[in-house]
Amino acid sequence: MTWATYITDLNIPKDWKNTSYHHDELPSWQVNGLHIWIDSHDPKVRTANANNIIGLDQGFMPRFTVQTANSYNGYDDDHTWIFETDSFDKLLEFVDSKKEWSVFKNDVWITDPYFDETGRFFVDPIKYYGLTEHDLKEYGSINEENLK
């Protein structure tokens, strides 16, 4: 089974960038600062994949797992999965919930607007990324009083 058959039952959104690499264990996509791994819909293939990835001889992992794009791209060392599900609808909801909080700058997904793309230097998100005060209020870092 090729990776192309892993998604025949899914309608992958057009804004998702296919980042599958032949040395990875699963095909993947990036969007909104997220890196999304998609396993096969075939239980036999998923069982074999789980064995290759985590050494699980029986059963399988969630079909959809998500980590930050920065971790996959080597910009940080936190390879923690931040979301896992077997439901494509729940995955889409999770991805959509992150849509407004990511900025792509210098080939890096920015998920904290108060730091530059290296994650080392504090920046003014309005000047540096072009965000608005409304964006920051929605991000939760300033409150209504700061907007007056």
Position 141 scores a pLDDT of 46
Residues 71, 88, 104, CA angle at the centre, nearest 5°? 35
Q: Taking the domains of the chain in order of start, what are their residue ranges?
A: 3-100, 112-147
Q: For 110-140, write each residue's pLDDT tens digit.
A: 767 778 878 788 888 888 888 777 776 655 5
Other beta carbons less than 10 A from residue 117's beta carbon:
19
Q: Which of 29, 35, 32, 3 is nearest to 17 (CA)?
A: 29
Beta bridge partners of 29: 18, 36
This model's pTM is above 0.85: no
Express each pLDDT in 49-83 by its tens digit.
888 888 867 678 899 999 888 777 777 777 778 89
How confident is the model at residue 74, as a pLDDT?
Answer: 75
Which residues lie across from 28 on neighbouring strands? 37
